[in-house]
Structure 1
Amino acid sequence: MHVLIVGAGLGGLSLAQTLRKQGISYQIFERDADKNSRFQGWAIALHTIIDDIVSSMPSDMPDLKEATNHLAPLNLPAQILMYYPEQGRMGFVDSPETPLIRAERYRLREWLSTNISIQWGKRLQRVESDDSGVTVWFEDGTSAKGDMLVGADGIQSTVRQNLLHQSHDELLEVVPLANIVGQLTLTG
């Protein structure tokens, strides 16, 4: 079994790590020229799935919290506040009872890249499949062949568009979403 993964974001890299742990052959391709080509976002809260994430990864991974903590080098506990319409506000502070990691997305991507060979600058052009497997072709003229293709290339997935032969506009509907972000000023 050889798995082709198009997209080296958090999802594609998580899959690559679990395949690596299981000894399953894979290749991972990313359209960005390198790891610094694009802003990765600010932070993501990890709480109820921390143990599952760590147990699904190979044992040679660095400590998740130390490697990804967006508060580093400050020695402050991670905190998060969520609002649920029926329950109101619920706050959490990192503790042994309620573990919480506020992972900086760039650092989390770096952590997930541990011992993974990412092929950068691989913009998918087309996908061909037959009884012997799947072949992906890239804009640079190269190709790769595997038994299975996983599209982890984001909301405007080129893999999905190639497999379904439909444009993103035909397939996707925008979901209204709001986000509240606070800012504070540290002094002293």
Structure 2
Amino acid sequence: MTSSSQTDKKTPVVLIAGAGLGGLMLGMVLEKAGIEYCIFERALKVKPLGAAMVLGPTILPVFEQLGLMEEFNKIAVPVVSTDIYNDNMKVLGSVKMNNIIETSGFDNMIFARPRLYEMMLKQIPEHKILMGKRVLKMQEKDDQVFIHCSDNTSYNGDIVGGLMEHTHYLSEYVQVTGR
């Protein structure tokens, strides 16, 4: 049995500015939660760029909750130690990472950033990423948000994510609903 307050709640529509790692992560979480969203990317084509990255116990639980750890482990290897060098490339010391999994449940994992990007991009249905949509402006009016793009198109939703000065809309929704 559902209460009237539960049935009256409308699922929000989230507009995400940017299909970088942050935008894709937000899209993956919203996809899993069944919340409607659309990602607006200014580039005409996705170009996964970058070098090596390390993720660890602060973010890997999210990949586990999304059911992506097995796939993530295919592109990453554990960091067993980190060497520290001076400006003459002389080793000053080394930090061993062999017991981090015992204390946190996860290793620090190193991988090629483009492979992570490609893995994350596969989790987002193609129709939910609009390419060539550079967001120029955001407006709020009558409990709706509007984004205006450089190609003279506009879109409306309930929450905007991805624009640093406007991400509070998403955090306020999460605090209010507990999602």
For normalisation by structure 1, the TM-score amounts to 0.63
Match for 2:147: what amino acid?
A: V
Question: For the residues of structure 1 that align with 2:99 and 2:46, how far apart are their CA atoms?
Answer: 29
Q: Kindly, what percent of the aligned residue pairs are identical?
A: 32
Match for 2:41: what amino acid?
A: E
Contact 1:127 1:134 (C-alpha < 8 Å) held by counterparts: yes
Question: For the residues of structure 2 that align with 1:62 and 1:29, how far apart are their CA atoms?
Answer: 29
Partner of residue 65, structure 1: 73
Partner of residue 174, structure 1: none
User: What's the CA shift string for 1:9-56, capped at 9, x where partnerless?
Assistant: 1111111111111111111111112112xx622011122236412233
Partner of residue 92, structure 1: 97
Considering only aligned residues, what root-mean-square deviation do their CA atoms show, in Å?
A: 3.0
Question: For the residues of structure 2 that align with 1:78 and 1:62, how far apart are their CA atoms?
Answer: 17
Offset, 1:80: 4.5
Contact 1:61 1:111 (C-alpha < 8 Å) held by counterparts: no
Contact 1:94 1:100 (C-alpha < 8 Å) held by counterparts: no
4+ aligned runs moved over 6 Å, structure 1: none
Question: For the residues of structure 2 that align with 1:82 and 1:140, how far apart are their CA atoms?
Answer: 48
Q: Which ranges in structure 1 are unaligned for 5 or more consecutive residues?
A: 72-76, 164-188
Question: For the residues of structure 2 that align with 1:80 and 1:33, how far apart are their CA atoms?
Answer: 39
Partner of residue 134, structure 2: 123
Partner of residue 4, structure 1: 15
Q: Which ranges in structure 2 are unaligned for 5 or more consecutive residues?
A: 1-11, 85-92, 169-179
Does 1:104 pair with 2:136? no
Question: For the residues of structure 2 that align with 1:55 and 1:21, how far apart are their CA atoms?
Answer: 12
Question: For the residues of structure 1 that align with 2:142 and 2:56, how far apart are their CA atoms?
Answer: 42
User: What's the CA shift string for 1:100-132, capped at 9, x where partnerless?
Assistant: 321211111111112313211111121111123
Aligned length: 142
Question: For the residues of structure 1 that align with 2:13 and 2:60, how far apart are their CA atoms?
Answer: 28
Question: For the residues of structure 1 that align with 2:59 and 2:79, how far apart are their CA atoms?
Answer: 14
User: What's the CA shift string for 1:128-160, capped at 9, x where partnerless?
Assistant: 1112311101111112110000125xxxx6xx3
Contact 1:78 1:101 (C-alpha < 8 Å) held by counterparts: yes
Does 1:44 pair with 2:53? yes
Question: For the residues of structure 1 that align with 2:99 and 2:70, how far apart are their CA atoms?
Answer: 19
Q: Which has the higher helix share?
A: 2
